[in-house]
Chains A and B, each alone.
Chain A
Amino acid sequence: MNLQPEDWNALWITLKLAATSTIILIILGTPLAWWLSQTRFRGKFLIEAIVALPLVLPPTVLGFYLLVALGPNGPVGGFFKAIGGQPPVFSFEGLIIGSVIYSMPFVVQPLQDAFKSIGTRPLEVAATLRATPWDRFWFVAVPLARSGFVTAAVLGFAHTLGEFGVVLMIGGNIPGETQVVSIAIYDHVESLAYTQAHWVAGTLLVISFLLLVGVYAGNRKFRVWKP
């Protein structure tokens, strides 16, 4: 293998970032998506617009605002400072915060669609079978939305994997700390190290492909009962 130690580092940080962000996104996105799919709240469209914002904003714009907010003088950074911590800019934690916001629509929207497509009937049936609202969510809505969870996780993971602009703005480019693969490749290309760039890019390509193959093969099994 022709990968240098800092490339391995970048690869490891990227995968760690994507995995952590995906887990956090599922944890935060599920209740949000459920609420959006069920609520009759009139201002729902506002929340939906905010969630979808990262889809249309240039990543550098989002990154810029995050930089300001997470920096020592921003509200989030200031809070971290006040409780005796470090402002999360230029750190792995900062990258996670950025990724979660940046990839939010890719997780919330498939989940919201999946919950919506269940319809009200199975939930009504569950209610007549003595299931409490909490029961209905866990034992009816979540299992029936299973393929939505797979899609949401894949999209959330993949989108974080390909992140560039936001990471550059708030993470800087600290090897071993905040340098992710996409930036490492950019660096190699900038310094005309094409062979190196090939190796890193190719590795990421293979990993991504294998991941998707695994997920879709697994998801096919989930769908046996779908017509």
Chain B
Amino acid sequence: MSIDAHIQIDRGTFQLNARLELPARGVSAVFGPSGSGKTTLLRALAGLEPCPDSRIIVNGTPWQTPTKYLATHERPVGLVFQEPSLFEHLTVQANLDFGRQRVSKSAQTIPLDHSIELLEISPLLKRYPHQLSVGEQQRVAIARALAVCPEWLLLDEPLAAMDAARKREILPYLETLCRETDLPILYVSHSREEVARLADHLVVLDEGKVIANGPAIEILSNLALPLAREPNSAAIIETTVAGQDHTFGLTLLDFAGGQFQVTHHDLPVDTPVRLQVQANDVSLTLERPIHTSILNVFKAEVAEMAEAGPAHVLVKLTVGSNSDSDSTLLARITRKSAEQLALKPGLAVHAQIKSAALIN
């Protein structure tokens, strides 16, 4: 169960030549700057972009080979476009029913009520698209794509057409969707933040070529890739809730390198939580700092260093002794500090983490 594809499209000025192998579970994200071919890639998977030279095999079924082309309406995908693109002449309910009634009863594996509830659109069912906000429209569009009970859900930058407030409105729904369905999702985005929050698996695309492909956590902190070099770059740490410190209103989170203390979140013990630590919020010392206001200080080892602009250096750190389950941190420090501390790969340091954010 997977996507195995080699998509080749030559449009003269733009060439896409992407080899894709994606697991059939969790959220796979395709990340890349605008014009890198992400959307074309997704459209080719959906059968909307002619690509006779490509090969797309999904769960063992050929969707596209040099001799075969499965038409879009025959592919078991659900697609959400950048713009909600609801049918203007139909009510929300009729929009949901449009695809639903074209799917046989036996294939209706996802209850429509469940999608309606998940996206909280039941009060909107009788309205027409022009009576909804853009955010509501996009929620309906997601439910409409789920209504056809796809084997794959393809999301083409579903937040790109929205302002920051709308994004904050929709992201939680996407997170719930990703967490609560076992539907494999392919998510195209140029936003590092969305990818960090949602993706399990990550494909990085640049100028029509795949430059990285692997677990999201590894790729986000890979210094050789553009993701780690963005000004707001951050590392993701997988943790589990260990307990609450009621005296000080803190939540304790266990991870490979120790225990994080973050401001209170009402979560049961053992809940898996993703923590995002900005590279700018991590500072390094050679000796364990005492008398510091910073709660989260961990032993770490310098794994790798890379220049980041004229005055800064990005340091990739390994936290935790067990090499199987160690975590990675990124620290952005000045080149001057790095020189004064004589940082080099292999050196043991202490990482002071000023703040960490729970991202789902």
Contact = CB atoms under 8 A, between A and B. Distances in A.
Interface in A123-147: 124-132, 135, 139-140, 143-144, 146
A128 B46 contact: yes
Contacts of A132: 73
A129 B98 contact: yes
State which size class the interface on B falls in: 20 to 34
A224 B130 CA distance: 9
B88 A130 contact: no
Interface in B183-233: none
Contacts of A143: 89
B102 A125 contact: no
B87 A122 contact: yes
A221 interface: no
Contacts of B77: 128
A144 B87 CA distance: 8
Given A126-B98, A128-B46, A139-B98, A121 B144 contact: no
A41 interface: no
A43 interface: no
Given A124-B48, A225-B129, A131 B73 contact: yes
Contacts of B32: none
Given A121-B81, A121-B85, A143-B89, A127 B128 contact: no
Contact of B128 (A126, A128, A129, A225): A225
Contacts of B162: none
Contacts of A122: 85, 87
A213 B81 CA distance: 40
Interface in B303-329: none
A121 B161 CA distance: 15
A227 interface: yes
Contact of B88 (A126, A128, A139, A144): A144
B81 A130 contact: no
Contacts of B47: 127
Given A124-B48, A124-B72, A125-B81, A130 B102 contact: yes
Interface in B74-95: 77-79, 81, 83, 85, 87-89
Given A135-B102, A139-B98, A225-B130, A129 B89 contact: no
A128 B152 CA distance: 11
Contacts of B46: 128
- Return the 5 tightest CB-CB contacts between A and B, nearest first: A129-B99, A127-B72, A130-B102, A128-B79, A143-B89
19 contacts: A121-B83, A122-B87, A124-B48, A124-B72, A125-B85, A127-B48, A127-B73, A129-B73, A130-B73, A130-B102, A130-B103, A130-B148, A131-B98, A131-B99, A131-B102, A143-B89, A225-B89, A225-B128, A226-B88
Given A127-B71, A128-B72, 14 more contacts: A121-B85, A122-B85, A126-B98, A127-B47, A128-B78, A128-B99, A129-B102, A129-B144, A129-B147, A139-B98, A144-B89, A146-B89, A224-B128, A225-B129
